[in-house]
Amino acid sequence: MLRPSIERRFAADLAAFGFVARNAELLSAEARRLRLVGVIETLGRSVALEMDLRLEAAALSEMAENTRDDSDFRVPRVEWDYTARNVLTMEWIDGTPLSDRAALAARDLDLPRLGRALIQTFLRHALRDGFFHADMHPGNLFVDAEGRLVAVDFGIMGRLRPEERRFLAEILLGFITRDYLRTAEVHFEAGYVPAHHSVESFAQAIRAIGEPIHKRTAEEISMAKLLTLLFEVTGLFDMRTRPEALMLQKTMVVVEGMARTLDPRLDIWTTAEPVVREWIAHHLSPAAQFEGAAREAGQLLARIPGLLRRALRVAEQIDLATCRGVALTSEVAAWEREPWRLRWGMIALLAIVALLAWWGW
């Protein structure tokens, strides 16, 4: 249930944060690079979603569908008949809080296994589903009687588009395999690093990040030093903050920290590797890429009749305009404003149709 006056209090806080961010960007180039205004706007959109508990229930329901076959993770069931804008009713969860390490140990649970499951669950949701719980702090996670992780509080959720999932998978795989050049290339392909910088120089910089933590256990890694180095590298290469990735980055840090409390000797890269490689095999292998290209070609073919009908209408209207003086419609105006883009698009479509017909023959 929403607390009384919570919307008004959040609105006041966001207004104050926005005032500080706008003035900081006016005065500081570093603040503009960090895109503080964009960060506050992202936070504001997230808060707006949290204020309607029907949307939280929908997020919970969506994640339940995504994870119904997962053996080590589940979410509570929504009681839709008792859910409204200000009230969310869901299944009662009996479990041990993940924050209570002593209680987990008293249950004789395999804590290292739980740590691995936590890392792999989060990555699976981000990569496989493109939809992840973005507030996975210890108070929102429990371990049920079957030893499964159970998450609650779905007010803050994150989404990744297909291209963002590819970038994430390739960057993680690059660190896992120590292929720093490919990792650097992905950053440039994604637009994370401005094009005027050198790929090789950036690869050298991220090698300085990756090598000290490769094959090290969690207890041997100083996250403070690592984050400091990452921040210095982003400044050195003019990397601007990407507000859409903030929830992913924040949640990754929190999840990694929880996993460390369960298993101080956890190897993050070894734990992440099976999930990353599975996603790569399903989406970036030659067979997967061919299947994706065929699917896109099918979608394009489905649009061809409509595009051809539009082209015929445009041709008829041009004929009327030139022969009878009829006024141009908006479609003809668009054709005349961007003739080359539209005409070359039609030529490309016809070429694809011919190629696919020849291929089928």
pLDDT digits (tens, 9 = 90+) for 239-264: 877 766 778 878 888 888 888 889 98
Residue of 13, 94, 135, 153 with catalytic role: 135
CA angle (252 as vertex; 51, 277 as ends), nearest 5: 125
Answer yes or no: are the C-beta atoms of 202 and 193 closer than 8 Å.
yes
Predicted pLDDT of residue 361: 47
Q: Where is pLDDT greater, at 201 or 49?
A: 201
Look up 135 and say whether it is catalytic.
Answer: yes
pLDDT exceeds 70 at position 325: no
5 touches 212 (CB < 8 A): no
Q: Flag whether pLDDT at 204 surpasses 60.
A: yes
- Give CA–CA dist 346/350, Å, rounded: 6
Bridge partner residues of 190 (DSSP): none
Task: Using alpha carbons, list the distances in angstroms from residue 279 to 67, 71, 130, 131, 285.
Answer: 16, 18, 12, 15, 10
